[in-house]
Structure 1
Amino acid sequence: MKFVDEVEITVKAGNGGSGSASFRREKFIPHGGPDGGDGGDGGDVILIGDQGLNTLVDFRHQRHFEAQKGESGRGRQQYGKGGQDIVVKVPTGTEVYDLETDEKLADITEHKQKLVVAKGGEGGLGNMHFKSSVNRAPKQFTSGKPGEQRTLKLELKVLADVGLLGFPNAGKSTFVDAISQAKPKIADYPFTTLYPSLGVVKIDAETSFVVADIPGLIEGAAEGAGLGIQFLKHLQRTGLLLHLIELPAYEGMPDPVEQYHQLSEELVKFSEHLQDKTRWLVFTKADITVPEEAQAMADGYVKEIGWPGPYYVISSIAHLGLDKLTKDIADYLSGPKEDW
């Protein structure tokens, strides 16, 4: 399934029905009074969160949603029936913007959370409302009011506990594949991840967390280079960022220290809020050598960077260091943050 994380849609609420201008017409009552009923209200357009959805792709096929109009009133004080609402399902994690005003209307983060994005028009009044001591036979009635119409932008930010950062081929997809049941695309060339992938990591029967893999970043990502800039926003909801850095297997590979600084600069350019999130360093592909040498390499890079926080050395292929890392993640997410 192709991932779509931003769409524009048009919503139109139903118009209210018109009131009725009617008079009583019964046998032996030649001058019956006004009995025109009111029109029904138009239906609303409602967005509702659905945790079973993880993409906005369905909106590629339908981008216009219109609720039902209210019925007009009738004689004998019969009110028109209200128009039926239209309910549109969106994934949890969807932000809703009014394109005309650029106003953020809501952030739909919970299952079955509802948002009325277009209110139906009120029904018109029948002529029975206009009867008075000086006007016994009013012919006035009012038309129904038009329903609201809006053009909306829906922007999906995936809901995950842990987000993965890294340049292409840093081993993010292999890491997700190793610790969860998710099956992201894995290959030995850059940009095999073309859309965010979510994996649920189960520690035990009662403990689990969700990890999000996004496309690899490259230098200049904050200005639009590469693919990752399209998905950096997904990391804004996460509670913890893992910065994956590939240990060099041979001379001429990118320098881990230089890559660390490049990616850190891209985070600052994109969002200071993202830069301030808790981040751990994870050195990947430790199977290039014996564990002791891989650890020594990582220790040297950490010292050169001046990194003050937690860091780990792992191999997703050899399952080296994964148990400790995932357990520490679970402890961090569930416990007091000051302990870290």
Structure 2
Amino acid sequence: MHFLDQAKIFIKSGDGGPGAVSFRREKYIEYGGPDGGNGGKGGDIVFEAVAGLNTLIDFRYTQHFKARRGTPGAGRDRTGAGGDDLVIKVPVGTQILADDDERSLLADLTKEGDRVAFLRGGDGGRGNASYKSSTNRAPRQHGPGWPGEEMWVWLRLKLLADAGLVGLPNAGKSTFINAVTNAQAKVGAYAFTTTRPQLGVVTHKGQEFVVADIPGLIEGAADGAGVGDRFLGHIERCRVLLHLVDANDEDVGTSYRIVRDELEAYGGGLSDKPVIVALNKVDTLDEELIAALSAELESESRLPVMALSGASGTGIDAVLDKLLEAIGPSRKSAAEAQENGDWSPL
């Protein structure tokens, strides 16, 4: 399945049905009079967040969505049936943005089952019966029905995760997420093996939490270098960031600072989130060098530095303990989640 986190679509609610022009014609009723019913209301455009979706790829191939119009009214004062609402199903975490220069936020669907009636269908037109009066006993006018609303909108997906992985390309993020989850992220000995965000569910000490891995950042990502910073939106909702630094880098302090500068340039509150700094790939170094590099990284970050290796598993449990502590006690146990059938983004 291809990953797509932005899409532009056209939406239109249904037009109202026209009112009817009809006159009552029945035996033994000399003066029947008008009996044309009103038209039905057009269908609404409704967005709904559902489980089981984690991409907007479907909106690449279907970009126009129109709800049904209302049915015309009929004689005998029969009102036309309303048009069916068009329910557009989107992944949890989808934002709906206006198609303007500011891309202003119109709706944010952050929980499974969230629904928003976005565009209201047009009202049905009046039938000729509603125009009857003491001076207009045989009206022939009717309402054509009110038009529905229409607009272009942007859909933007921000994945929901508890912890986010950040670092330079080849910092070992994919190896780490493969070690602690079943994400099966691609791993390679070259930069940018991760080209799209990955989600994985960690089960640790009877609790579950979701980890998001995004493509690595390089210097100038905020200005479009590398894959840019467009994927940083997927960790805006994370409660904590795990910043991995490759122990084999020439200057671990500089590696840390490059990524932090890009987070600050992006904004979105990322630079204010709790951060756990970890020196990765320590299985290739001796203890003396690990201590020296950790001290150098701690001096630059002004945070405690943990040592780990995603390949060998060294230090992973301690890092997961720290992540659970930062995420908080609100996570349900894995047994509770399975018993209650709670939603998972995978």
Alignment of 1:185-204 (within 5 A): 185-204=186-205
Contact 2:18 2:124 in 1 (8 A): yes
Deviation (angstroms), 1:100: 4.5
| In 1, Cα distance between equivalents of 2:55 and 2:32 | 60
| In 1, Cα distance between equivalents of 2:303 and 2:73 | 70
Match of 1:176 in 2: 177
| Structure 2 gap segments, 5+ residues each | 331-346
Match of 2:299 in 1: 304
Match of 1:260 in 2: 256
**What is the SS of the residue equivalent to 2:269?**
helix
The superposition leaves residues 115-137 of structure 1 with CA deviations (integer Å, 9 ceiling, x where unpaired) of: 12221110011111111122222
The superposition leaves residues 250-304 of structure 1 with CA deviations (integer Å, 9 ceiling, x where unpaired) of: xxx43111111111111111116111111111110001123x2354133321343
**What is the SS of the residue equivalent to 1:231?**
helix
Match of 2:59 in 1: 59
| In 1, Cα distance between equivalents of 2:323 and 2:2 | 29
1:247 equivalenced with 2:247 (yes/no): yes
Deviation (angstroms), 1:176: 0.2
| In 2, Cα distance between equivalents of 1:171 and 1:294 | 19
Contact 1:294 1:313 in 2 (8 A): no
1:314 equivalenced with 2:308 (yes/no): yes
Match of 1:77 in 2: 77
Structure 1 residue identity aligned to 2:196: Y
Contact 1:46 1:118 in 2 (8 A): yes
Aligned residues: 329
The superposition leaves residues 14-71 of structure 1 with CA deviations (integer Å, 9 ceiling, x where unpaired) of: 1000111211111222321110100000011111101210000011111111111101
Match of 1:88 in 2: 88
| Root mean square deviation, CA, Å | 1.5
TM-score when normalising by structure 2: 0.91
Match of 1:114 in 2: 115
Match of 2:275 in 1: 279
Contact 2:93 2:160 in 1 (8 A): yes
| In 2, Cα distance between equivalents of 1:97 and 1:269 | 22
Range with bigger deviation, 137-146 or 69-78: 137-146
| In 2, Cα distance between equivalents of 1:176 and 1:319 | 11
Structure 1 residues 30, 323: CA separation in 2 closer, same or farther (over 3 Å shift)? same
Match of 1:47 in 2: 47
Match of 1:328 in 2: 322
| In 2, Cα distance between equivalents of 1:302 and 1:97 | 40
The superposition leaves residues 169-200 of structure 1 with CA deviations (integer Å, 9 ceiling, x where unpaired) of: 00000000001111000000000101000010
Structure 2 residue identity aligned to 1:244: L
| In 1, Cα distance between equivalents of 2:289 and 2:329 | 30
Contact 2:294 2:305 in 1 (8 A): no
Range with bigger deviation, 137-146 or 218-227: 137-146
| In 1, Cα distance between equivalents of 2:277 and 2:239 | 15
Contact 2:10 2:150 in 1 (8 A): yes
Structure 2 residue identity aligned to 1:124: G
Structure 1 residues 40, 294: CA separation in 2 closer, same or farther (over 3 Å shift)? farther
| Structure 1 gap segments, 5+ residues each | none
Deviation (angstroms), 1:141: 1.5
Contact 2:7 2:156 in 1 (8 A): yes
Contact 1:286 1:294 in 2 (8 A): no
Match of 1:225 in 2: 225
The superposition leaves residues 57-94 of structure 1 with CA deviations (integer Å, 9 ceiling, x where unpaired) of: 01111111111110110111111111111111100010
1:165 equivalenced with 2:152 (yes/no): no
| In 2, Cα distance between equivalents of 1:273 and 1:321 | 29
Contact 1:174 1:317 in 2 (8 A): yes
Contact 1:41 1:120 in 2 (8 A): yes
| In 1, Cα distance between equivalents of 2:53 and 2:292 | 42
Match of 1:153 in 2: 154
Contact 2:12 2:45 in 1 (8 A): yes
Match of 1:213 in 2: 213
Contact 1:48 1:112 in 2 (8 A): yes
| In 2, Cα distance between equivalents of 1:81 and 1:12 | 19
